[in-house]
Every structure is written in structure tokens, then in C-alpha cells.
């Protein structure tokens, strides 16, 4: 094992440090956020910082850097009050990654993905097996480093029908949802097991069939 | 595709809804958080809500529910100002999951994991290939649902030596870091590709060797 101190990290070259630190938080989700501007133009941007905030009310968060390519996403969310989160699969991960380039017009056209309309003005990605429509609730500015924590409430879900287990759980492997490590490493997943609720004096059981 | 409205979600049975909504945010990291109480007793708890907040300064966040099993973790972080985040692998994921049971004493002893000491008072998990020591910086209470967003600065990293690429990126597959979907579904990962920085008029390239 290698041990690095805070001083070792501070002394890293800034690009090396960005790559290193971005890996520490572990496996992240890969999603495209769809928005529409006040001028009606669609925007689509890849994010790896969507997080669960709560189930009731159903809330999701996004952590967004200041002055990044994702700035249009934040501006549009503030202007229109809505956005969509669309899971990325291996079938279109290159197009999804390409949305991080600085385009003038709609990224849907630029990278070859299909915008479709739900009940919100923000567009969904037709190629995605799981898309979530959100209403913006709150943006918390993190003074510690100038990032923004954006919280929205789930108001619509489009999901592949066979993805939901009897108890409500979504099988992310079945829909082909992928993961990102650090800034640019994409991973596919395979199931290890679903585990039962843990109690002190009871052995764990598998909830899935084990196949 | 199945389309669910906000009303459909609100009408779900509460356990079904918890399982469903916890899947929407996509693949999450699986980590154990190690802390020590003011009385010197170790605590270890599994979390799937660690997120990247920034690289410079190096900051990680945790989203924690109120009044949950993880309450001891929050109390200890506040009391001692430090904690560790330890990546979980398939070799000890059952022990990691079992930490979510309500134990009176140290979860290390209860589930059979090994506490080791670094430069902080909070314990590391010896079995983990990537452990991060953090100093608590800030806790933001999210009034919207009573959860807490805990931000810490990375002050120490213990990592398997062969995990770091030339450019600083950490290969999460090589160290065996695993992912969680929803509340209880564990996944292993395999590499799809590392992709180059995207530019509008340049084709993407693979940064990895493609094996």
C-alpha cells in the first residue's frame, strides 16, 4: 500500500491531481442531463455527479462545478425550472461522452441522440432505458469551493418495463446502466447479489435468485 | 417504456417507493465509513452516498439520513472532526453490508473486519484497497427533507500501489471497487474504455490500451 499525505496531494501537478482525486469517491453513475433554454434550444450534457437525496419526497441532487461546460445546464434549470436525467448505456456512451465538448447549438444534433418530449419542456433522451423528469426545488451554493448542489423533485419517470422487481427495486444491470470512474473511465456492471436487510443476530440472505 | 407520474410515485407503498426511488440515481459507490467516538469506541458503517465535491482543495461529500443507523457516524464525525472512507470489494461485501445492522459495540468486531491506524484517530479498514482519511469541514442541513450533506477534506490516502495510472487516474476495476444499485444490489464492474477529452471537431480516442 502507498500512503499519501495532504502535502503529497497538494504538491501534485493540477491535472494529475484532478484525475487522482476524481477517482477517490468511487464508482459514479453516468447520466445525460437534458434541459431547454428560454430561447427554446435544447441542451444535453453528461454528468457523473447525480446522487440520491431522499425517497419521500423523491429528490435527486447534482453537484456542478462553476464556469464549466455544464454552465448552460444550470442556467437552463434556473430559467425553466425543469430538467431530465437520462441513464447512459454502453450502446451510446461515446455520444454521451462527446456532449462534454463545447458546442454552440444543440448537443442532441451534434452527437446524434434523439430528443423526445414528455410532460415537461425539458427533453428526454429517446435512447435511454431510464429517464427521470425533475422540477427544480433548490440550489445550494457551496462556498467552500464555489460548486453548486442542485436539488430537484422527481415528477415523471420513463422506464423499461421489465426493469422493476416485485418489491420496486430497479435492476440497473438489466437496463444496461453504466458507471464512470474518475473523469473518463466507463465501466459496465454485472450482478454480485441482492442482500437482505441486515440484523445483528440473523445471517444475511440473498434476495435475488442467484443467477 | 412505462411512464409514471409524480402522482403514481406518491401513491406507491412506502417500502416499494423507497426501493424504486433509490434506484433512480443510478450506480452508486460502496464504501465503509470508519469513525471513533469520544469514548474511543470504533464505529463502521456502509454508505452508498459518497460523492466528489472538488479536486482542489480535495473534497468529498456524504449524504446522510437523519435518525438512521448512520447516526453514530455523524455524531462521531462532529465529536472528533475526522473519518475514513474505505472502498468495498467483492471479497468482503457481505461483512460490509452487515455493518448496517444495529450493533451496540464496534462493528469491526461484530462483522470480522480489521481496524488499522493511520495519522487520524478514526480507523481504516485493513481489507480495503483504497482508503481515504478526511478532516470534517462542514455539514449542511438540507431543510427540504432533513438529511445532512457532510463535506470533508482529504488529508491522507492509502492505496494499492499498482492502481494509479501515469496520469493520476485510479483504476477502480483493478482494485476491485464495487458498486451498489438501490439499497441492496451489489455489482462488480469491468472496463469499457477510457475516453479522451471531448472537443467539437475532433474524434474521440481511447486513452487505455483497449484490453
- pLDDT above 60: residue B84: yes
Cβ contact B27–A170 (<8 Å): no
Helix (H), strand (E) at residue B21: helix B14-24
Whether the full predicted model's pTM is greater than 0.90, yes or no, is yes
C-alpha cell recorded at residue A36: 431547454
Interface confidence, given as ipTM, is 0.96
Helix (H), strand (E) at residue B22: helix B14-24
Q: What is the mean pLDDT of residues B200-206?
A: 92
pLDDT tens readout for residues A34-79: 999 999 999 999 999 999 999 999 999 999 987 666 778 999 999 9
- pLDDT above 60: residue B211: no
Q: What is the mean pLDDT of residues B167-183?
A: 97
Look-up: residue for cell 464505529?
A: B43
pLDDT tens readout for residues B13-27: 999 999 999 999 999
Q: How many CA atoms lie within 13 A of B154 on its CB side?
A: 35
* B118 to chain A: closest CA residue: A3
Look-up: residue for cell 457532510?
A: B150
C-alpha cell recorded at residue A165: 422487481
- pLDDT above 70: residue A211: no
Task: Report the pLDDT value the prediction gives residue B66, as an integer from 0 to 100.
Answer: 78
Cβ contact B27–A207 (<8 Å): no
Task: Report the pLDDT value the prediction gives residue A66, as an integer from 0 to 100.
Answer: 78
Look-up: residue for cell 487516474?
A: B169
- Determine if the peptide bond prior to A137 is cis (ω within 30°): no
Task: Report the pLDDT value the prediction gives residue A209, as an integer from 0 to 100.
Answer: 78
Region of residue A182 (phi > 0: left; psi between -120 and 50: alpha; otherwise: beta):
left
The answer to whether B153 contacts chain A (CB < 8 Å) is yes
What angle is formed at CA A164 by the lines to CA B29 and CA B191, rounded to 5 degrees? 40
* A97 to chain B: closest CA residue: B198
pLDDT tens readout for residues B99-154: 999 998 999 999 999 999 999 999 999 999 999 999 999 999 999 999 999 999 99
What residues in B contact A21, CB-CB < 8 Å? 52, 54-56, 58, 154
* B27 to chain A: closest CA residue: A29
Task: Report the pLDDT value the prediction gives residue A22, as an integer from 0 to 100.
Answer: 98
Mean pLDDT, chain B, as a whole number? 95
Q: DSSP label at A32?
A: E
- Residue A102 near residue A69 (C-beta atoms within 8 A): yes
Q: How confident is the model at residue B69 (pLDDT cuts 50, 70, 90)?
A: low
Q: What is the mean pLDDT of residues A96-119?
A: 95
CA distances, B54 to each of A198, B36, B158 (Å): 33, 26, 19
Q: What is the mean pLDDT of residues A176-200?
A: 97
The answer to whether B211 contacts chain A (CB < 8 Å) is no
Amino acid at each position: 500500500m502507498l500512503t499519501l499525505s495532504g502535502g503529497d496531494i497538494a504538491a501534485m501537478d493540477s491535472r494529475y491531481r484532478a484525475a487522482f482525486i476524481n477517482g477517490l469517491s468511487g464508482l459514479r453513475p453516468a447520466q445525460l442531463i437534458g434541459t431547454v433554454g428560454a430561447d427554446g434550444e435544447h441542451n444535453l450534457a453528461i454528468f457523473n455527479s447525480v446522487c440520491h437525496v431522499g425517497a419521500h419526497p423523491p429528490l435527486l441532487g447534482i453537484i456542478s462545478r462553476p464556469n464549466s461546460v455544464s454552465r448552460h445546464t444550470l442556467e437552463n434549470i434556473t430559467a425553466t425550472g425543469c430538467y431530465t436525467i437520462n441513464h447512459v448505456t454502453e450502446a451510446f456512451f461515446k455520444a454521451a461522452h462527446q456532449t462534454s465538448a463545447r458546442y454552440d447549438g444543440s448537443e442532441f444534433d451534434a452527437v446524434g441522440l434523439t430528443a423526445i418530449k414528455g410532460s415537461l419542456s425539458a427533453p428526454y433522451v429517446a435512447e435511454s432505458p431510464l429517464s427521470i423528469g425533475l422540477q427544480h426545488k433548490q440550489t445550494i451554493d457551496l462556498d467552500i469551493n464555489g460548486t453548486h448542489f442542485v436539488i430537484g423533485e422527481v415528477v415523471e419517470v420513463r422506464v423499461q418495463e421489465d426493469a422493476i422487481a416485485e418489491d420496486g427495486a430497479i435492476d440497473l444491470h438489466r437496463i444496461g446502466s453504466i458507471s464512470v470512474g474518475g473523469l473518463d473511465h466507463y465501466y459496465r456492471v454485472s450482478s454480485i447479489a441482492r442482500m437482505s436487510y441486515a440484523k445483528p443476530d440473523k445471517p444475511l440472505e440473498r434476495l435475488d435468485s442467484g443467477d
